[in-house]
Amino acid sequence: MFENMKPSIKCRSVYDLDLSELRSIGIRGLMFDIDNTLEPYAQEVPSEKLCRLFSELYAKGFRVALVSNAKEDRVERFCAGFPKSVFPLGIISVAQAGKPLEKGFKEACFRMGLESGQTAMIGDQIFTDIWGGNRFGAMTILVRPIAPEKEPPFVRFKRILEKLVR
């Protein structure tokens, strides 16, 4: 069981992803968790730095989706912060994804027009992002949480359990 909770790759942050390597192994789509993966927990809008990263991902031909267990209004507010000049049709997002269940990953892949093996799930939590991505058949990339001190108690409790799995 714990074997399915190991990430394919670990890296410090989303800004340290080796895009050339991902491209060379056939990854065409990147699914991201939001809270503590892309921005600190509950930050309302993406930073300019994150908008530049996503612009770079699109320029390099990657498809991008946000796959979050957060409520729809939270995800919509976050997505609205991406510039329309870069993302005229908006950014693909799946709220209340039900991670680690496969439902949200399937929806994101369908909307990106990709198969599970062409995608990577990038997140900061083993029990949702990594386990779910592995179950779905995506490559998984574990990043360090950006601001664990801002997490709600239920997430802090999961962090304790994650240490046992590691």
Beta strand 139-143 pairing with 92-94: unpaired
Beta strands in the chain (DSSP E): 9-11, 29-32, 63-67, 92-94, 119-123, 139-143
Name the residue ranges covered by the structural domains of the chain: 2-165
pLDDT value, residue 34 = 96
For the stretch 104-157, pLDDT in tens is 999 999 999 999 999 999 999 888 999 999 999 999 999 999 876 676 666 655
Report the alpha-carbon distance of residue 153 to residue 5 in Å, rounded: 22
* pLDDT of 100 strictly over 70: yes
pLDDT value, residue 159 = 59
Closest by alpha carbon to 160, among 126, 134, 128? 126
pLDDT value, residue 17 = 96
Q: What residues have CB less than 8 Å from 63, skipping those under 6 apart?
A: 28, 29, 30, 92, 112, 113, 114
pLDDT value, residue 87 = 75
Q: What residues have CB less than 8 Å from 76, skipping those under 6 apart?
A: 93, 95
Q: Tell me the pTM.
A: 0.89
Q: What angle do CA 159, 162, 163 make, to 5 degrees?
A: 95
Q: Are 32 and 38 in contact (CB under 8 A)?
A: yes
83 pLDDT tier (thresholds 50, 70, 90): confident
* Fold adopted by 2-165: Rossmann fold (3.40.50)
Closest by alpha carbon to 105, among 67, 159, 158? 67
Q: Are 97 and 69 in contact (CB under 8 A)?
A: yes
pLDDT value, residue 47 = 95
Least trusted range by pLDDT, from 58-62, 156-160, 162-166: 156-160
Within 10 A of 164 (CB to CB), how many other CB atoms are there? 7
Mean pLDDT of the chain: 89
pLDDT value, residue 89 = 74
* pLDDT of 23 strictly over 70: yes
* pLDDT of 13 strictly over 70: yes
* pLDDT of 161 strictly over 60: no
For the stretch 39-76, pLDDT in tens is 998 789 999 999 999 999 999 999 999 999 999 999 99
